[in-house]
A and B are shown apart, each in its own frame.
Chain A
Amino acid sequence: MQLYLPIAEVSVNAFLILGLGGIVGFLSGMFGVGGGFLITPLLFFIGVPPAVAVATGANQVVASSISGVLAQLKRKAVDMPMGAVLTMGGFLGSGSGVWVFRKMTALGQIDLFVQLSYVLFLGLIGAMMLQESLRAWFRAKSGAPIRRSHVHTWVHGLPLKMKFRASGLYISVLPPLAVGAIVGFLAAIMGVGGGFIMVPAMIYLLGMPTKVVVGTSLFQIIFVTAFTTLAHAVTSQTVDILLAFLLIIGGVIGAQIGARVGVRLKAEQLRILLALLVLTVSFKIALDLLIRPTELYSIMPGMLP
């Protein structure tokens, strides 16, 4: 069934979009990532203009994250205070990220900048996660005693301490604020929710238990992507509500299934799979930069800055 999208101004197959939303929603529910780093390139691929893809992708992430959070809430796997602190940091970072995004657009190198950020951050985080989770997996298999991650470092000496009951942490609010800000900054530049950065940051930097990480990550993604969607709708009118609607219908169903599949998998396995997924996307984007493109020229509407 062909459907004409009012903002994107292209005609697409409605079932294809539903399917795309479903797949991304599934991954989102399973890993606690918003899926923005998958949906945006996929939309490019089917011919949706990049600006519309980024903005509409953010809108779909809002829906799948809400659906995912509600599933996680039933398992009491959301650390609300932690989520609130991360979100606050996220807004600060996102504001400055939008500013840098504008600067790079004016320089005409935003594509390169976005692609390089993807390769760098996805590659780095994917590799780190893969290495750590594989080690954890082998250790669990060989039956060696699991080392406690609760080690006192300089992080624990910071002021403004707060109790995060669900995470079992008593730490300063400064590290989560900083993590939120960095993620928000990258999210605004890369046009994603930032879950793939947030999840490992919460595990490795903040020492949060894996069971609350997914829910808390989704919780803060809701706010960051809602902010992004609104910003795009107001400044550039690039949110396609019809496209978002189709993606959302597929996405929310996928997210529910994904959340249930995720429960059955072990934490290490989940992390290995997410790491592989992140690495695959990073590798694909790196290839695009390194291999000679079939079409060297590209057409952009509008004037040279």
Chain B
Amino acid sequence: MKRPALLWQTLALLLLAAPATAAPEAIVAGLSQNRVSITADFDGSEILIYGAVKREAPAPQGPLDVIITVEGPATTLTIRKKDRRAGIWINTEAVHIDAAPSFYAVATTGRLDKILSDTEDLRYRISPTRAVRAIGLSSEAEKPEDFLDALMRIRFDEDRFRLQQGSVQLAEDTLFRADVLLPANLTEGEYKVRILLTRDGKVIDMQDRVVNVRKEGLERFLNTLAHQMPLLYGLLSLALAAIAGWGASVAFSMIRR
């Protein structure tokens, strides 16, 4: 059990090192890792987010809660809807999303609608629906909300969006920890981790951390080659095919002889 010991030591250090802030309650937090390497055998990864609530004065009244969000790099998206035309199902309407995170997980100490007020959710863009930025959607389709619902449904099905209510453990209104599982179909880039402290539905402190997700080793090499020297990469793929095809033919004729 080396990890918890290390964890508490780090926490103690963080508590000591944290600068005094004006806020009566502040977060001191750390991550188990600030980089994730995607190698050939990558099959998802777990990050541990831990920390403590630092107080200058006795805790005020009201329930204290912790919300942790992990957000992958955002991309633009096109959502298409199929409709029946002349007996066959074809894409008809389409809607354009300005930015939707490729991965989004929310972990909380309780039900999100109980621990976070609507105005605060709007301000900090915390619930998965709010994390998707879609401006001017209403002009693109008759029922744009259906498209957003579909986006949520598909992303949750793919495990790319996740809402883990009650998965953050908060002890003595001071120490908290949460595990967030990153899936195997991860996109490269910077993953933004936000740790928010709420009391009575209002956000009282927020901390940002970044986890770098990068392809490593063979994965990194092949990806770089494919994008920087595409012709060479293509020829390499063909050479591989030619050698394998020829090799199998030779091998089989030797077996038969």
Residues in chain A within 8 A of chain B (CB atoms): 2-4, 6-7, 9-11, 47, 59-60, 62-67, 70-71, 74, 108-109, 111-112, 226, 229-230, 232-234, 237, 239, 241-242, 244-245, 248-249, 252-253, 255-256, 288-293, 295-304
Contact = CB atoms under 8 A, between A and B. Distances in A.
Given A65-B245, A67-B246, A112-B90, A10 B184 contact: yes
A299 B102 CA distance: 12
Interface residues of B, number: 63
B131 interface: no
Contacts of A65: 245
B127 interface: no
A300 B80 contact: yes
Interface string B69-99: 0000001111111111001111100101000
B78 A233 contact: no
A254 B223 CA distance: 29
A10 B185 contact: yes
Contacts of B146: 297
A70 B151 CA distance: 49
B245 A297 contact: no
Contacts of B253: 74
B227 A239 contact: no
B234 A248 contact: no
Contacts, number: 191
A273 B150 CA distance: 41
Contact of B233 (A70, A226, A241): A241
A303 B140 CA distance: 13
B89 to A, nearest CB: 6
- Judged by DSSP, the binding face of A is helix
Contacts of A244: 237, 240-241
B237 A241 contact: yes
B122 interface: no
B186 interface: yes
A291 B88 CA distance: 8
A234 B43 contact: no
Contacts of B252: 71, 256
A301 B234 contact: no
Nearest to A298: B80
Given A233-B226, A296-B82, A297-B79, A252 B247 contact: yes
Most buried by A among B81, B89, B188, B237: B237
Contact of A252 (B44, B188, B227, B248): B248
Contacts of B223: 6-7
Contacts of B94: 108, 304
Contacts of A226: 238, 241
Contacts of A253: 248
A242 B154 CA distance: 27
B235 interface: yes
Nearest to A238: B226
B228 to A, nearest CB: 10
Contacts of A62: 238, 241-242, 245
Nearest to A112: B90
Most buried by B among A9, A47, A230: A9
Contacts of B185: 9-11, 47
B76 to A, nearest CB: 5
A304 B78 contact: yes
Contacts of A292: 84, 89
